[in-house]
Each structure stands twice: as structure tokens, then as C-alpha cells.
A and B are shown apart, each in its own frame.
Chain A
Amino acid sequence: MMTSTKAALSHFVRFAPRSGSAPASAPSAAYAAYLRSLKRRALSIQLWQIGLVAALLVVWEVAPRAGWINPMLTSYPSAIARTFTRMLQDGSLTTHTLVTLSETVVGFVGGMLLGTFCAVVLWWSSYVYRVLDPFIVVLNAIPKIALVPIFYIWLGDIASIYAMAIAISVFVTILMLYTGFQAVDEDKIKLVRLFGASRLKVLTKVVLPGSVPTMIAALKVNVGLALVGVVVGEFQAAKAGLGYLITYGSQIFQMNLVMTAIVVLAVISSLLFIGIQALESTVLRRHGGVGGGN
């Protein structure tokens, strides 16, 4: 009661000459209380998150063991953990993970490079853009997963997976980057043109560096998409990889295997995403202080 009255009054006395003993820099009691409430709130959100995961794990463990649901269908955490450690020890999990990871990285890096190149070509020649625009829109709209069997027939079991990962990310990249290039401040382009810049200089000095935030946004989207492409490609074709583990495990009705692969996939995609977010915050700090203070 006392604090709230003080808080209400502080508004009126803020500009009055200070007669009290409180130093000017000390936060007011109301502000300290506000900070405490913020901290409490953040803590309670974290507790909820941990609690939800714990509850899920407990139900998942108890329900199949107690016979409420069929363990053949769902497996349960301790069994998955056993499979996980066994596969980690015999090295097979590492092999499969590395296969999927390298395919994914090649996929989204390849998709980014190819997409950036195509977007540059479209930016360079508005004529080419006008010609190709409808085709790109249609190609982007096609569910790329429908192409998996074709890629398998055309390219074989290994190349088809890379092709899938690239195909699924390249069109989004083209569209995102082309839009990003168009959105670069016209006045900045005018500025370098006034210095006598050629179109190539406009591209390398303004358009590309100015589109770095767009590229990172595209990269974020592509990491997820490439992983989808790789896993689906592995369903069809592969002899190794987490997608292969999932199909193999489901064919022999080994849910432990399937769940293990899915957990690893979740970890991989989170790590890739976190990595790109770290890259983003480093790079964007320069770009007009997005996310940075001043």
C-alpha cells in the first residue's frame, strides 16, 4: 500500500528540488518492484516449459508400460534412450547423422548459391525477369516433393537427394532475394550511380551488401526446407541417413529406431537454426542496428 502511494506521488514530485537523502541514481521502489515482476514472469515461463517436457516424458513412459497404449506403436523414452546409446556406441548413429547433415548443408548452401545467382540474373535484366516470371511462380508453387521419384529415376540414389534439397529451396530463394534486391533503397543506388558506378558496381557495392538481411532470412527458411528435401529424398532412395533410418525402422516395426532418428532430426534442425540466428545477430548488428541498442 505504502509503495503504491509513493509510486503515484513520484509523478508529481519528480521535478521538485531534492530534499530527501535518496541519491539521484538509485531506482525508485516502484521501478525495483517492476523489475522483480519481470524477472518472476520470465522464470515462471521457463518453469512451465520444463514442466511440459517433463510431463510429456512421464506420460509417454508410463502409458505404454502400464498397458494403456500399445508400446509397439509409440515406444517410450527409456527404450529410445537405450537404442540411442547403443547406436551411438556402435557408431551407426553418427554415420547416419553425418550423412543427413552433410546432405542438408550441401542442399541449402547449393540452393542459396544457385538462387542468389538466378536472382542476380533477374535483377540484371528486367527483360529476362519479365520472360521468366510466370515460370518461376509456377515452379515455386509445385510441391517439390512430388518430384522425388523423377529425380530418383533421372539422377540415381545419391544425386537425387542433393537435387531434392536444392530444388526445394532454390525457388523460394530466388523469389525472396529478387524481392529483396528490388527493395534496396533507390536513393542508395542513385548515390553510387552519381559517382559513376557501373551496373556491376551498383550490384556489388549496394544491392548485394544491402540484401544481406534478406539473404539471412532466406537462409533461415532454407535450412528447414533443405532438411525436408533431404529426409524425403532419403525415404525414396538412400542406403544411409536419418530418413533411411525412419523408413527402415517403420518397415521392421522398430519404433525405437524411428523415434531416435526423429529426435536427432529435431536436434539437428534446432542447432542449424540457432547457428543461423547467431550469424544473423552478428551480421545485422551492422545493418542499421537491427536488434542492437543505438
Chain B
Amino acid sequence: MDHELRKRGTSGLEVACDPFGLMARPSAIMECHMNVQPQLVLEHVSMVFRSEDLNFTALAPIDFEVPAGKFVSLIGPSGCGKSTIFNITAGLQPPTTGRVMIDGEDATGTIGQVGYMLQKDLLLPWRTVLDNVALGMEIRGVPMAEARERALPLLQRYGLGGFEKRYPSALSGGMRQRAALLRTLLIDVDVILLDEPFGALDAQTKSQMQEWLLQLFRDFGRTVIFVTHDVEEAIFLSDDIYVMASRPGRIIDKMSIDLPRPRERSVVSSPRFVAMKQYCLDLLRTAAGQPPQAAAA
């Protein structure tokens, strides 16, 4: 089991250039990570959908890099190209321009290099919870018996104990997301993409799941890229947040969240947290063409 729980030391090199990320532009901030080998780099990636009479730019060229072992969130309105970024990173869609580098190698258009948890849990109803969690490993060629053996202790450890032999219909919404996330984490890849995994959960379950995810992030030491609409969620979970705007989809700012880990839930009411949240909300409002709330108040 130990080889599952690979710890990645997080180097202390990424001292925040600007604790609040208030002035940071993506290009400026990246200087700070120069010494760290970035695990995932999107180089000048853009996506233009062409039809006969018009070109629709889903994603203006973006540069984006994630150091190993970091938790990075993308936040922005619908249609800002978050899903496009994920599809390109996962190799499902070739970008119109640019390339995707994983561990320094070109992975553009290659499927299976990253773990990608889709918005829905997509548990297969005809498989037991255990076999659902083992699915990714099984498809990647791990013999079924071994895949089950690896999955079982994790189910018990991460709150699904006793449900191994049950079918997904017996699980609550939160438990289904846990199973889906474990399925993604159990395949042997370094980068995990999470597309609004908790979007459909009620507030109570959502906050439990966030703490659970932080525990997993600590234990597994993977690099996580997380898409959300929820500013508070993004700040609570992330090391870095990329704020996006739509039409065309683009990155408008990068915020570095230097709140110490492990984070307690109480951090959300600290003045620092509140200031960052306000800043991020204002950015999103300005990008949407609305006046910042602070000015209105």
C-alpha cells in the first residue's frame, strides 16, 4: 500500500511573490517557479472552433504551469474554457495551437497521461463499489485480483468501508464522489484533473468532501488541477488559483494562496481568507462587466 501513497516533498521554493496575488499577472508570477521543474505545462494553448462563416475562440492562447505536488484551481464563469483546458490536457482534443508538456515531455493529444475525474461520478451500476474503484487499474492492465487487493484498504481507509460488495445505488451522493475520486487516484499517474467534483452536493456534504479531499491530497501527494465555480472552495483547497474570463476564454489573473497547511475549516473566517475571497469575487465581477462589490457598498 505504501507505494500507493507516494509523498511528494513540496519544496519551499515557491515563496509567494505577492501574498494576496493582488497584482500578479500569470507571466510575472511564473518567475517564482523558475527553479522548480513544472510537472504540467500548457504552452500557448488555444482552441478555435471553425465553422463555415465564423470562428469561435473557445480559448485564447494561454500559458499555464503547475509545479509537482501542487493544488491548482481554475475558477471562472461558464464558457471560460475550463473544460476545454481539461479536454486538451487529457488528450481528448487536440489544441488549435500550442502543446501540452508533462514532466518535460510533449503529451499533446495523448490519452491516459493524466487522471481526469469528470463532473458526474459515472460509477458503473453493474459493478460493485470495489470493482468500480478498481476499474481504472483494470483497464490499465493490472490483473483484477491485484487491483481489488490494492483498492480494498483504501476503501476502508477513506470512508467506504463496509460498502465494498454493495452496488453504487446503495451509496449517497458524497460516497459516490469518494468512490469516483479513489478510482481516479488509484491509477498510476501524477497529474489529476478534477472537474467540479462537488458541484452537485449539498453544502454540508460539500464541506466534508473538501476536507476529505485535502486529506487525500496530503496522503497521495499528487498534482491536482481543480475546476470550480465556488470561490471559497478554491481558496480553501488551493496553492494557486487561476482566475478566468469568457469570450474568449482566457486567464486574467493568478492568485497564490499562502495559507498554511493543513488547513482547518475555521480559516475561512480569517481576515486574510476573506480579503482574498473579496479580491477574487471582484475580479470575476469586473470580468463579467459588473462593478466590484466593494465600490457598490
A contact residues vs B (CB 8 Å cutoff): 185, 187-188, 190-197, 201, 205-206, 209-210, 212, 286-289, 292, 294
Contacts and interface: CB of A to CB of B under 8 A. Distances in A.
Q: Could you tell me the dominant secondary structure of chain A's interface residues?
A: helix
Contact of B169 (A194, A197, A292): A292
A286 B167 contact: yes
Contacts of A197: 139
B120 to A, nearest CB: 6
B90 to A, nearest CB: 6
Given A187-B118, A288-B125, A195 B139 contact: yes
A195 B169 CA distance: 23
Nearest to B116: A194
Contacts of A294: 169-170
Interface string B132-143: 000110111000
- Chain B binding surface SS class: loop
Contacts, number: 57
Given A195-B112, A288-B169, A292-B169, A205 B126 contact: no
Contacts of B169: 288-289, 292, 294
Interface in B147-186: 167, 169-170
B90 A209 contact: no
Given A193-B111, A195-B140, A185 B122 contact: yes
Contacts of A191: 118, 122
B187 interface: yes
Contact of B124 (A193, A195, A201, A210): A210
B94 to A, nearest CB: 15
A187 B139 contact: no
Interface of B: 90, 92, 111-112, 115-116, 118, 120, 122, 124-127, 135-136, 138-140, 167, 169-170, 187
Contacts of B116: 194
B139 A196 contact: yes
A212 B122 contact: no
Nearest to A193: B111
A289 B135 CA distance: 21
B124 A188 contact: yes
A190 B140 CA distance: 15
Contact of A212 (B126, B139, B167): B126
Contacts of B127: 209
B126 A190 contact: no
Nearest to B110: A196
Contact of A209 (B92, B111, B124): B124
Contact of A201 (B92, B122, B126, B139): B139
Contact of B112 (A194, A210, A286): A194
B111 A196 contact: yes
Q: Which 6 A-B pairs have the closest CB atoms?
A: A196-B112, A195-B139, A289-B169, A288-B125, A195-B136, A197-B139
10 contacts: A188-B124, A190-B118, A193-B92, A196-B111, A205-B135, A209-B124, A209-B126, A210-B124, A212-B126, A286-B126
Nearest to A188: B122
Contacts of A187: 118, 120, 122
Nearest to B119: A187
Contacts of B135: 192, 195, 205
Nearest to A185: B122
Contacts of B112: 194-196
A192 B139 contact: yes
A220 B118 CA distance: 35
B140 A206 contact: no
B92 A190 contact: yes
B140 A196 contact: yes
